[in-house]
Amino acid sequence: MKTAGFLLLLAGFVIVLSAFALLSSNTSRAVFTLSGIAVQLLGLILTFRAHYTLNEEH
Amino acid sequence: MQIQPTVLTETGMAVCTLCILLVPLVGAGLALVNTGFGRGRSAAHSMLSAACVFAVAVLVFLFIGFAFQGYAGEPSHLLTFRGRQWNLVGAERMMMRAVVFNGSPLSLVACLQLFSVGIAAMIPLGAGSDRWRLGASCASTALLAGITYPIFAHWVWGGGWLSQLGTLACGNGAIDAGGAGVIHAVGGIAALSIVWILGPRHGKYETNGMAIPGHNMVMVTFGCMLTLIGWLGLDSAGAMLFAAAPVNRIPLIAVNCVVAASTALLSALIVTAVQFGKPDASISANGFVIGLVSISGGCSLVSPIEAVAVGLVAGVLVPFSVEWLDRLGFDDPSGSISVHLLGGLWGVIAVGVFVQTRPGQWLAQMAMVSALLGFVLPLTYCLNLLLNRVYPQRISKDGERQGLDMCELGSGAYPELAPVTKDYLYR
């Protein structure tokens, strides 16, 4: 679960990078950037959840 | 388009040099805070670790780190994509051989960065308190000072792609005058990775587990006050070198720092008083530091009223995040994750919220947050995980029970208070 979380963190970053590299208007960049950050938040939740589950098991 | 380096007048150089000379006090303050929050039986180890980690960070950054970080206008590695050049990493000469120490902005940046990287390296020490081996903390610091910190610092402070975003109509590009993101969020991310890898202290979350309070709150509060003096220098020097602030902006920087720290301290104190019936000294002290961390990003660019707002949010954030992380099983004795990571991220976002010199500034700031979460966090965690495979970072269970002082150093910080038992005659 932690690996999946890290992959989501990376994926969100790639979305944000793509927004700046490929798009020209600030509106579309804003939409992509916020989407990327949302994906990263999901990744963070997943990594935190993985840590919590691991602690519960021990 | 390449970002132009800052130009300083002779007065500016002199004032900036004086400000930089105050910066080590931040490190001294953090060392006291980390030690006070830890157990008494690991106090000497904690102070020695702070000194060793600072030394390792300085040397590694001198030998290789600064070459990757560089500075605006200096050589760097570029990636051309769709006709646009993206500045990825510095290409300075190793061991600062290209730096002429004559008071030029480049030499001042090199000097400030040696201290800044030392501060960033001290942040995870508080999170790994009472269980992080001395050698492992030094090795982890080498990775931070040689790879993670310089790359990200180049992106924001060295003319890298985040600072170039101003050319894409995103405000003035990513702004981080005093290092909320570059120093504190990067250090906080290292703290989070260390907590993940080390796991909690024995007895913390077991069936009959208990809260493990810090051993010396006087040390903690004195450390907080000491950091304030260093912080004034750090934010002033950073604002002059990385946000082109003129010398006459220093009074505003000082006012903003004090105002944000005071507001955050009082709001954390009030929140804990409401939560627990009495104010909590440790969380209130953390409130003071998070106020300083969060104002660092826009210290020279926001008004004192806006600094109050920045401090207020930070101060309310810290009690909830400390409690929430504790419930999730993150054993972070000094609250480094809450104070430095969350405070740093809020400091970066606050610049986007309050600094409106050009439209689109918030986009550049969000790109910086994304880079911290999507690049620095995975890289730091993976590097530390690999290190842990080669050189286990956590002390043995027996060593933790004895305390790191006895186990790793052979003598304690408070020998007259230590009971003489077989456990303590280990070496």
Which pLDDT tens digit goes with each residue over B370-387? 999 999 999 999 999 999
Which residues of B fall within a CB distance of 8 Å from A22?
82
Percent of chain B exceeding pLDDT 90 equals 88
Angle at B125 between CA B123 and CA B128, to 5 degrees: 125
CA-nearest residue to B371 within chain A is: A13
Which residues of B fall within a CB distance of 8 Å from A48?
328
Which pLDDT band, with edges at 50, 70 and 90, does B211 fall under? confident
Burial class (CB in 10 A: 0-12, 13-18, 19+), B353: middle
Q: Over 80: is that where the pLDDT of B1 sits?
A: no
Maximum C-alpha span of chain B: 71
Cα–Cα dist B424/B258, whole Å: 44
Which residues of A fall within a CB distance of 8 Å from B369?
37
Please give, rounded to a whole number of angstroms, the shortest distance from the CA of B320 to a CA of chain A.
16
Q: Averaged over B133-148, what is the pLDDT?
A: 98
Q: Over 70: is that where the pLDDT of B208 sits?
A: no
B59 interfaces chain A, CB cutoff of 8 Å? no
* The two three-digit tokens of residue B173, written as one number: 């590009």
Which residues of B fall within a CB distance of 8 Å from A26?
169-170, 359-360, 363
pLDDT at B357: 82
User: Taking CB atoms and an 8 Å limit, are A26 and B363 in contact across chains?
Assistant: yes
User: Taking CB atoms and an 8 Å limit, are B363 and A10 in contact across chains?
Assistant: no
Determine contact, residues B91/B76, Cβ cutoff 8 Å: yes
Which pLDDT tens digit goes with each residue over B263-321? 999 999 999 999 999 999 999 999 999 999 999 999 999 999 999 999 999 999 999 99
Nearest in space to B117 (alpha carbons), one of B161, B36, B63, B165: B63
User: Taking CB atoms and an 8 Å limit, are B378 and A10 in contact across chains?
Assistant: yes
Every domain of chain B and the residues it spans? 24-425
Which pLDDT tens digit goes with each residue over A27-37? 999 999 999 99
Which pLDDT tens digit goes with each residue over B5-60? 888 999 999 999 999 999 999 999 999 999 999 999 999 999 999 999 999 999 99
SS3 labels along A21-39? HHCCCHHHHHHHHHHHHHH
Q: Over 80: is that where the pLDDT of B220 sits?
A: yes
User: Taking CB atoms and an 8 Å limit, are A12 and B370 in contact across chains?
Assistant: yes
* Of B111-115, B204-208, B252-256, minimum mean pLDDT range: B204-208
User: Taking CB atoms and an 8 Å limit, are A40 and B374 in contact across chains?
Assistant: yes
pLDDT at A5: 96
Which pLDDT band, with edges at 50, 70 and 90, does B427 fall under? very low
Q: CA end-to-end span of chain B, whole Å?
A: 61
User: Taking CB atoms and an 8 Å limit, are B377 and A52 in contact across chains?
Assistant: no
Determine contact, residues B27/B122, Cβ cutoff 8 Å: yes
**B42 alpha-carbon distance from chain centroid:** 22
Which pLDDT band, with edges at 50, 70 and 90, does B83 fall under? confident
pLDDT at B416: 78
Q: Considering chain B, what is the average pLDDT of its residues?
A: 94
Q: Considering chain A, what is the average pLDDT of its residues?
A: 92
Q: Over 80: is that where the pLDDT of B424 sits?
A: no
pLDDT at B418: 60
Of the candidates B84, B196, B363, the beta carbon closest to that of A33 is on B363
Domain with A25, as residue range(s), is 2-57
Q: Averaged over A10-34, what is the pLDDT?
A: 95
What are the phi and psi torsion angles at B299 (to 5°)? -55, -30
Q: Over 90: is that where the pLDDT of B356 sits?
A: no
Determine contact, residues B151/B61, Cβ cutoff 8 Å: no
Q: Averaged over B87-104, what is the pLDDT?
A: 93
pLDDT at B422: 54
Nearest in space to B247 (alpha carbons), one of B18, B3, B24: B18
Which residues of A fall within a CB distance of 8 Å from B170?
20, 26, 29
Model confidence, pTM: 0.96
Higher-confidence residue of B377 and A52: namely B377
The number of helix segments (H) and strand segments (E) in chain B equals 18, 2
CATH number for region B24-425 = 1.10.3430.10
Cα–Cα dist A26/B210, whole Å: 51
Q: CA end-to-end span of chain A, whole Å?
A: 17
Strands (E), B83-231: 84-90
Distances, alpha carbon B130 to alpha carbons A33, A50, B286, B292, B348, in Å: 40, 24, 19, 26, 31
pLDDT at B426: 45
Determine contact, residues B17/B103, Cβ cutoff 8 Å: yes
* B152, B162, B164, B373: best to mutate for the A interface, most A CBs within 10 A: B373
H-run or E-run covering B322: helix B304-327
> Residue B120 half-sphere exposure, CB side, CA atoms within 13 Å?
36
